[in-house]
Chain A
């Protein structure tokens, strides 16, 4: 083989493997979407689990009032996604309420106030949290944290939205911290020096100069944290109680979209309506997280442009 032919063969191989990332992403969407499609298209599946059944209320028995219920194994299977959506959003909101103040506060402290030796301790410690597998966080929330939270707040339910949300928050903190910290340290030192030179104190500098400059990055951190929270599975599967309740109370148990897939997919007969509904839920999760990621990246881009533009 001539050297040039070998060169171009190698280049082709490298180009093909690079495009495999795109192929992988597309395949994920295609193969999950393909299994979800019968929910929209197949006559047989639609009869049991069409869109109206997924989103509108249904009577458990002809005599009883209509309700939103997730009861896939039943004489009349009920596939209302509303309790699951509510549960997912509830867990995510609690997680963000818990994680955002802590993670953003820690990021500001680490980038603005901490001396460099302290920063060398803070960053790896929080990154350590990112290294804890989610099944371990779930285990901790299930076996240890739940009891303390229940006793502390005097709650009826041991496994509830607060417990699941806090455990989920622990998984979100490192992501938000890392992205926000990167955004804050990316703000040029000259901004701070200028502000201090004009007589501002460090907190004024942080609050009025650095934070606004880094805002797109901080927003991106929140969005990416949201994306992580919405898709996380093992933590909520173990710590949330998994009751498909339509309730907004943070002290009730809940069931999320992701945990529903994890708990039920192992069981279903392949090709049954239940199977397709679970893939439909997977498609929803994929689209949600895809959208939040695009949004997060757009804001990171904007931060880069803003900071590099201002440097000129």
Chain B
């Protein structure tokens, strides 16, 4: 091949891949720009702090924000201890080459690939129909308290969905703690748990936090798992108990986009809600990225 041809192909190849790259980034910018442009002007303090009125054509989205926060809070309480314990087991406790480790890894990876809607089915079939009804039978004499869609079940469903995120981030954080720190702890007579509790976990806090933030961001955005497990169209009151239903930002977007009584009147509210949801998930993602970068840098310096 002549030099000229090689140059041309090089140019073409780089150009095409670069074009692909530019297209994707442009698409992202286009979507975000469109939503920000249409969403930002309806935003106000009142919008964020009042409830919807007049069939969602007026008022704000406070109950949806509250519900989302409540949901991810419950989810975090469930998923973080579980995820951290799992990661600690995989990294520290499990004997090398153990079958359990292999199986847990496989389960985590596959859990990450199960479609969100299947988690929704599971939440209905297991948490509500099985666990909820059992609780009602045992403690409430069969009266209906927990055997119905509720924020608790939605949060637990979401916790299972986000478990892989927390495990993977924590494992990464544990992996980079230098071997010497562990050995030093043992040399001072620490038991394994003491070593984990006082040496490893403090050093892995950043990684655990990153995983938690990513999980929260995912949990705040997923709608399919909560369709049948607890989200409601409209509630005049905020959820205060674990067995209450709740309003949620993502579900609110879905409902307003498809079931609003007056499309034109709802549009500004809809865009503003999407904007709030996006801002929330992006702030979370962004802080996770910054946090992770900082931890990696610190580790690189420490070595």
Any A–B CB pair closer than 8 Å: yes
**Smallest beta-carbon distance A205→chain B, Å:** 10
* Residue from A17, A20, A35, A109 in contact with B20 in the complex, judged by beta carbons closer than 8 Å: A109
Whether B228 lies near A266 (C-beta < 8 A) is yes
Q: Given the known inter-chain contacts A128-B285, A133-B222, please indicate yes or no for A279 contacting B9, CB distance below 8 A.
A: no
- 24 pairs of residues in contact across A and B, judged by CB atoms under 8 Å: A14-B89, A18-B85, A18-B100, A24-B107, A25-B111, A25-B114, A35-B121, A125-B24, A127-B285, A132-B281, A134-B224, A135-B251, A139-B257, A143-B257, A143-B270, A203-B9, A203-B14, A230-B115, A233-B224, A234-B254, A258-B115, A258-B117, A270-B129, A293-B112
> Is A11 among interface residues, defined by CB-CB distance under 8 A?
yes
Whether B109 lies near A293 (C-beta < 8 A) is yes
A144 nearest CB neighbor, chain B only: B34
* Residue from A110, A201, A227 in contact with B21 in the complex, judged by beta carbons closer than 8 Å: A110
Q: Per-residue 0/1 for B105-120: is the Cβ within 8 Å of any A Cβ (1 yes, 0 no)?
A: 0111111111111111
A-B pairs with the 9 shortest C-beta distances? A231-B115, A105-B20, A133-B221, A109-B17, A18-B89, A17-B85, A293-B113, A106-B21, A203-B13
* Residue from B7, B9, B125, B222 in contact with A35 in the complex, judged by beta carbons closer than 8 Å: B125
Q: Per-residue 0/1 for B24-38: is the Cβ within 8 Å of any A Cβ (1 yes, 0 no)?
A: 110110011011000
**Smallest beta-carbon distance A1→chain B, Å:** 13
> Is B181 among interface residues, defined by CB-CB distance under 8 A?
no
Whether B104 lies near A19 (C-beta < 8 A) is yes
Q: Per-residue 0/1 for B261-281: is the Cβ within 8 Å of any A Cβ (1 yes, 0 no)?
A: 000000000100010011001
B106 surroundings in chain A (CB, below 8 A) = 297
Q: How far is the CA of A102 from the CA of B23 in the complex (A)?
A: 7
> Is B199 among interface residues, defined by CB-CB distance under 8 A?
no
Binding site for A on B (CB under 8 A): 6-7, 9-10, 13-14, 16-21, 23-25, 27-28, 31-32, 34-35, 81-82, 85-86, 88-90, 93-94, 100, 103-104, 106-122, 124-126, 129-130, 160, 163, 167, 191-193, 217, 220-224, 227-228, 250-251, 253-254, 257-258, 270, 274, 277-278, 281-282, 285, 289
A294 surroundings in chain B (CB, below 8 A) = 110
B130 surroundings in chain A (CB, below 8 A) = 31
**Smallest beta-carbon distance A154→chain B, Å:** 22
Whether B110 lies near A293 (C-beta < 8 A) is yes
Whether B193 lies near A231 (C-beta < 8 A) is no
Q: How far is the CA of A35 from the CA of B120 in the complex (A)?
A: 14
> Is A218 among interface residues, defined by CB-CB distance under 8 A?
no
Q: Given the known inter-chain contacts A25-B107, A32-B118, A262-B117, please indicate yes or no for A113 contacting B14, CB distance below 8 A.
A: yes
A134 surroundings in chain B (CB, below 8 A) = 116, 221-224
Whether A282 lies near B117 (C-beta < 8 A) is yes
Whether B90 lies near A18 (C-beta < 8 A) is yes
> Is A188 among interface residues, defined by CB-CB distance under 8 A?
no
B16 surroundings in chain A (CB, below 8 A) = 105
A256 nearest CB neighbor, chain B only: B117
* Residue from B109, B122, B223, B258 in contact with A133 in the complex, judged by beta carbons closer than 8 Å: B223
Whether B109 lies near A15 (C-beta < 8 A) is no
> Is A93 among interface residues, defined by CB-CB distance under 8 A?
no
**Smallest beta-carbon distance B113→chain A, Å:** 4
Q: How far is the CA of A205 from the CA of B280 in the complex (A)?
A: 42
Whether B28 lies near A27 (C-beta < 8 A) is no
Q: How far is the CA of A232 from the CA of B225 in the complex (A)?
A: 11
Q: How far is the CA of A207 from the CA of B12 in the complex (A)?
A: 13
Extra 16 A-B pairs, beta carbons < 8 Å, given A21-B86, A128-B285 = A6-B193, A7-B192, A24-B107, A25-B107, A105-B17, A106-B24, A109-B21, A110-B21, A113-B17, A125-B24, A134-B224, A135-B250, A136-B250, A173-B24, A231-B116, A261-B117
A203 nearest CB neighbor, chain B only: B13
Q: Given the known inter-chain contacts A21-B111, A170-B27, A279-B121, please indicate yes or no for A14 contacting B228, CB distance below 8 A.
A: no
**Smallest beta-carbon distance A107→chain B, Å:** 8
* Residue from A131, A234, A265, A279 in contact with B223 in the complex, judged by beta carbons closer than 8 Å: A234
B117 surroundings in chain A (CB, below 8 A) = 231, 233, 258, 261-262, 282, 285
**Smallest beta-carbon distance A213→chain B, Å:** 17
Q: Given the known inter-chain contacts A3-B191, A290-B114, please indicate yes or no for A32 contacting B121, CB distance below 8 A.
A: yes
A18 nearest CB neighbor, chain B only: B89
A35 nearest CB neighbor, chain B only: B125
Whether A122 lies near B25 (C-beta < 8 A) is yes
A27 surroundings in chain B (CB, below 8 A) = 122, 126
Q: Given the known inter-chain contacts A143-B257, A233-B115, A265-B228, please indicate yes or no for A131 contacting B20, CB distance below 8 A.
A: no
Q: How far is the CA of A31 from the CA of B122 in the complex (A)?
A: 7
> Is A103 among interface residues, defined by CB-CB distance under 8 A?
yes
**Smallest beta-carbon distance B301→chain A, Å:** 19
* Residue from B114, B125, B251, B289 in contact with A127 in the complex, judged by beta carbons closer than 8 Å: B289
B109 surroundings in chain A (CB, below 8 A) = 293, 297
**Smallest beta-carbon distance A243→chain B, Å:** 15
B113 surroundings in chain A (CB, below 8 A) = 224, 227-228, 289-290, 292-293, 296
A16 nearest CB neighbor, chain B only: B85
A170 nearest CB neighbor, chain B only: B27
B94 nearest CB neighbor, chain A only: A18
* Residue from A21, A140, A285 in contact with B34 in the complex, judged by beta carbons closer than 8 Å: A140
Q: Given the known inter-chain contacts A133-B221, A207-B13, A293-B110, please indicate yes or no for A11 contacting B20, CB distance below 8 A.
A: no
Q: Which of A13, A32, A279 has the most CB of B within 10 A?
A: A32
Whether A132 lies near B253 (C-beta < 8 A) is no
B20 nearest CB neighbor, chain A only: A105
